[in-house]
Amino acid sequence: MTKGDVWAGLILAGLAIFIIQQALVLDYFSEYGLGPGFLPLWLGIVIFTLSLALIGIRILGRPEAFENEGGTSAGTGRALATWGGLMLAIALLNVLGFITSFVLLTFLLVLVMDRRSPSTSMVVAVGGALGFYLVFSAILGVPLPQGPWGF
Amino acid sequence: METLQNLSLGLSVALTLTNLSWCFIGVFIGTVVGILPGIGPPGAIAMLLPLTFKLDPTSAFIMLAGIYYGAKYGGSTTSILLNIPGEPSSVVTCLDGYQMARQGRAGPALGIAAIASFIAGTFGVLGLMLAAPPLARFALRFAPPEYFAVMSLGLTMVAYLTGKSVVKGLLATFFGIWLGIIGTDLFTAQSRYTFGQVELVDGIDFTVVSIGLFAVAEILVNMESRVKADLFKLPKGLRNLLPKLQDLKDCRFAFVNGTLVGFFVGLLPGAGATIASMISYGIEKAVSKHPEKFGAGAIEGVAAPEGANNSDAGGGLVPLLSLGIPGSNVGAMLLAALYLWGLRPGPLLIHEHPELFWGVVASMYVGNFLLLILNLPLVPIFVQILRLPYFALYPMVLGISIVGVYSVNYSFLDVWLMGFFGLLGYLMRKLHFPMAPLVLGMVLGKPTERALRQSLMMSQGDFTILFMRPISATLLSAAVIILLSPTVQRLSLREKKGPQRV
């Protein structure tokens, strides 16, 4: 996974620059000794150095941890599509409430990702949502995000 | 004598109906989680963490610990019947356990796994009971420099031992420390990296990160591909699950080996149950009169790793409960739980909350006994869980993750962050970045910074205080040696190879 590691190194190096930039705004020393900027500054420097080391190791071809998790691009696509569905459901939480968002998420995942029939998908989605409502809302009293329908 | 008195205090706590119930719930969930390949103990504990806020800390810890060691029992079931480890530390059990099942000996394989787990698990708790209190008493001498040193050593070991790349381990550690210091600075009340969000002033909640990294990321990894495997039929009746007397004789050394290796490896931060089970399997094979049988269905090849991964649980709790230093993902979560419940993990924990420490110890004896029952006569019932369709399971895990995170602060930002950490956890697995250093860095980030700054306040800014005190100097030297060891190894290898090239 040479490319992946190089990308990871670049992203982490970018994060390190951000950490350093913000740390420079904070006090390095304070009246109590070291200030709030001390640790972040050094963290940023170390992360930056290690990121470059990671990129260097990959480009120079050191045999350290060279293998990847395996899997296919189709598999990665399935995982990312599931994540996209989750993020969509999170975006809808505020608008539709938990129960409706969960029904939509489950229905789509089971129907599209698992290629089950619409009726099976709906049974899993509605049954699951009902279970959540009973356990968390009715029994445990956890206030779930509500939609315009009151649930 | 004092230990026995304390143990009786622990039993009086653990044997109340409430705590017995929580112990049973914990080991039951642990067994289920261990059996299900799709979700591991860190994910399960992360999801349940928010629900424990309303519980008494002792009861909550008893339940979470039950999930931790219970999963190690359940993990062997899928290794033996499906050749798929229910949790990572059961991977070695597949080697001989699955071969035994193929030869029609699934019953004795499951039986010996449960018996080895029980013996090693019980002795692991005995080790915890005997080792943690003296270690905590010794650690009472610690001042901020020693705390800084011990936390630095813990973080270094975890970065070094987990994963195959030290660079990636260190990057994960430092990224975790950065996540841990987001929020208000403890000394000056200045905000750091809050992006102007009021919700981040108190920092990112550990539950948000752990649920994202473990529960959500696990689902994403499982969505990539589903392994379909045929489940071996289990023989009916308890008699067919019990190993024969000869099997038990063959496993005598494996029980001792698994117990000792598991406990001592468990003491080391970062080593973990998987390494413990691999070492004990290697030792067992090395000393066996029939090493050729290993990998072809040797019963000792099941007993040794299963014993080791259970004894590791007791060993892993020693540094956690006596020093406040976790050695694994689950340890980090248990430590975070102690903070969330308002306790102060560290050497004073056993002294200030003896009912918690001794209650947990006693509950682990009880829990191991309950697990023996759950995993011997009741294993055919648990196996039915494997027939649950995955498409009905993973949406529930995602739903519990959302509800669990939302219920911590009723914050939508937390739920968004959980989604982000889910993707991060998935990418980390794809790129072989270890998770344990990140979560440990996050949990120990603030305490490490506090200890460093307090140390320098003591010395009026003189860094040599860290190297002038014997304990901190020794611990920091050990951390430096660990950090430098890969470079030294590489250099010595290059020297050895050098003449050959010429």
Region B218-226: mean pLDDT is 85
Instruction: Give the mean model confidence (pLDDT) for residues B239-243.
Output: 78
Write the CA distances from B350 to B3, B323, B440, integer angstroms: 12, 10, 21
Quick one: pLDDT at residue B81?
Answer: 85
Mutation target to probe the B interface, by most B beta carbons within 10 A, among A18, A68, A69, A101 is A69
What is the token pair recorded at B25? 């719930």
Alpha-carbon distance B141 to nearest alpha carbon in chain A (angstroms): 24
Q: Are residues A40 and A85 in the same domain?
A: no
Place of tokens 């914990």: B26
Tokens of B58: 């002792």
Query: Which residues 6+ apart lie within 8 Å of B284 measured at CB?
Result: B253, B254, B257, B294, B300, B301, B303, B304
Angle at B169 between CA B164 and CA B173, to 5 degrees: 165
Furthest-apart CA atoms within chain A: distance in Å:
67
pLDDT tens per residue across span B119-173: 999 999 999 999 999 999 988 888 999 999 999 998 888 888 777 788 999 999 9
Least Cα distance to B340 among B13, B29, B136, B46 occurs for B46
A132 burial type by CB count under 10 A (0-12 exposed, 13-18 middle, 19+ buried): buried
Q: What is the pLDDT of residue B230?
A: 63
Q: Around Cβ B233, how many Cβ atoms within 10 Å?
A: 12
Q: Chain B, 193-212: which have a CB under 8 Å from a chain A CB?
A: 193
What residues have CB less than 8 Å from B283, skipping those under 6 apart?
A: B257, B261, B304
CA–CA separation, B344 vs B332, rounded Å? 14
Using CB atoms, which residue from B166, B430, B453 is nearest to A69?
B430
Query: Which pLDDT score, from 0 to 100, does residue B159 have?
Result: 85
Say if residue A55 is in the same domain as residue A82.
no
Say yes or no to pLDDT of A67 above 60: no
Q: Which of A43-52, A126-135, B329-338 has the highest mean pLDDT?
A: A43-52
C-alpha gyration radius of chain A: 23
| Assigned token pair, B496 | 């050895």
Is the predicted pLDDT of residue B323 greater than 80, yes or no?
A: yes
User: Which residue among A30, A40, A65 places its CB closest to the CB of B187?
Assistant: A30
User: What is the pLDDT, as a whole number, of residue B305?
Assistant: 94
The residue of A90, A109, A134 whose CB has the most chain B CBs within 10 angstroms, and thus the best one to mutate to test that interface, is A90
Cα separation of B341 and B353, whole Å? 13
pLDDT of B196: 87
Q: Residue B460: is its pLDDT beyond 70?
A: yes
Q: Cβ distance B446 to B179 under 8 Å?
A: no
Same domain for A28 and A86, yes or no, is no
CA distance B124 to B65: 13
Q: Which of B27-41, B50-64, B295-309, B483-497 is predicted with the least confidence, judged by mean pLDDT?
A: B483-497
Q: What is the pLDDT of residue B472?
A: 94
DSSP notation for B141-170:
T--HHHHHHHHHHHHHHHHHHSSS-HHHHH
Is A128 a domain residue? Answer: yes
Total structural domains in chain B?
1
Strand partners, A33: A30
State residue B500's pLDDT score: 47
Residue range B12-31: average pLDDT?
Answer: 95
Mean of pLDDT over chain B:
88
The span from the CA of B193 to the CA of B197, in Å, is: 9
Give the mean pLDDT of B88-109.
Answer: 87
Write out pLDDT tens, residues A72-119.
Answer: 788 899 999 999 999 999 999 999 999 999 999 999 999 999 899 999
Whose structure tokens read 């889910």? B422
Those of residues 298-327 in B touching chain A at CB distance below 8 A are none
pLDDT band at B227 (very low <50, low <70, confident <90, very high): low
Q: Does A50 share its domain with A13?
A: yes
pLDDT of residue B501: 41
Indicate the pLDDT class of residue B499, thresholds 50, 70 and 90: low
- Outline where DSSP puts E strands in chain A: 29-30, 33-34
**In the Cβ-directed half-sphere of B175, how many Cα atoms lie within 13 Å?**
29
Both A80 and A127 in a single domain?
Answer: yes
B49-53, B281-285, B362-366, B411-415: least confidently modelled range: B49-53
Gyration radius (Cα) of chain B, Å: 23
Is residue A37 assigned to a domain?
yes
Q: What is the pLDDT of residues B107-130, one digit of tens each?
A: 899 999 999 999 999 999 999 999
Q: Over range B305-315, report the average pLDDT.
A: 93
Range of the domain at A127: 73-139
Q: Is 50 exceeded by the pLDDT of residue B502?
A: no
Q: Locate B372 and state its tokens.
A: 């023996």
Q: In the block, which residue shows the tokens 């030297």?
A: B477
Tell whether A147 is covered by a domain.
no
As a whole number of angstroms, the distance between CA B67 and CA B316 comes to: 14
- Tell me which of B317 and B493 has the higher pLDDT: B317
Q: DSSP 3-state assignment of B180?
A: helix
Does residue A48 share a domain with residue A7? yes
Residue A148 lies in a domain: no
> What are the CA-CA distances from residue B393 to residues A114, B227, B418 (Å)?
12, 15, 19
- Residue A15 within any structural domain of the chain: yes
Q: Among candidates B363, B328, B379, which has minimal Cα distance to B75? A: B379
Reported as a pLDDT band with limits 50, 70 and 90, residue B465 is very high
Are residues A135 and A79 located together in one domain of the fold? Answer: yes
Task: State whether residue B423 sits within 8 Å of chain A by CB.
Answer: yes
Handedness of CA B204, B317, B363, B131 (dihedral sign): negative
Please, where are the H alpha helices in B251-325? 252-267, 272-287, 300-323
Q: What is the pLDDT of residues B54-65, one digit of tens each?
A: 889 999 999 999
> What is each CA distance from A151 to A133, A137, B444, in whole angstroms?
9, 10, 39
Return the residue of B nearest to A87 by Cα: B419
* Residue B191: strand, helix, or coil: strand
Q: Are residues A84 and A30 in the same domain?
A: no
pLDDT at B238 over 80: no
Residue A1 has pLDDT above 60, yes or no: no
Per-residue H/E/C for B348-409 = HHHHHCHHHHHHHHHHHHHHHHHHHHHHCCCHHHHHHHHHCCHHHHHHHHHHHHHHHHHHHH
Q: Which residue of A has its CA nearest to B194?
A: A22
Q: What distance in Å separates the CA atoms of residue B211 and residue B398, rounded to the nearest whole number?
A: 10
pLDDT digits (tens, 9 = 90+) for B255-295: 999 999 999 988 887 777 888 898 999 999 998 888 889 98
CA gap B327, A64 in Å, rounded? 24
Is residue A150 assigned to a domain?
no
Burial B156-165, CB ≥16 within 10 A → b, else e:
bbbbbbbbeb
Q: Among all chains, which residue has been given the structure tokens 């009746």?
A: B237
Please tell me the distance in Å from B188's CA to the nearest CA on chain A: 7
In three-state secondary structure terms, A29 is strand
Q: At what angle do helices B390-409 and B41-48 cross, to 10 degrees?
A: 40
Look up residue B414 and give its amino acid: D
**Residue among B137, B65, B25, B131 nearest B337 (CA):** B65
Q: Do A116 and B419 touch (CB under 8 A)?
A: no
- When pLDDT is cut at 50, 70 and 90, the band that residue B76 belongs to is confident
> Between these two residues, B182 and B375, which has the higher pLDDT value?
B182
Q: Least CB-CB distance to A105: which of B391, B398, B406? A: B398
Partner residue facing A86 (CB), from B174, B422, B429: B422
- Given this model, what pLDDT does residue A71 score? 63
CA of B165 vs chain A CAs: smallest distance (Å): 5
Does residue A88 lie in a domain region?
Answer: yes
Range of B396's domain?
2-501
User: What total of structural domains would you count in chain A?
Assistant: 2
Q: Which pLDDT belongs to residue A20?
A: 97
Return the H-helix or E-strand segment holding B425: helix B412-430
Q: What's the pLDDT at B64?
A: 95
The span from the CA of A98 to the CA of A107, in Å, is 14
- Has residue A43 been placed in a domain? yes
ipTM for the predicted complex comes to 0.93
Percentage of chain B exceeding pLDDT 90 = 51
A118 inside 8 A of chain B by CB: no
- Which residues of A, range 72-101, sit inside 8 Å of B by Cβ? 72, 75-76, 78-80, 82-83, 86-87, 89-90, 93-94, 98
- Three-state SS across B113-125? HHHHHHHHHHHHH
Residue A66 has pLDDT above 50, yes or no: no
Considering only CB atoms, B188 lies closest to which of A1, A30, A124, namely: A30
* B341-358 pLDDT, tens digit each: 888 888 889 999 999 999
Q: Are A48 and A17 in contact (CB under 8 A)?
A: yes
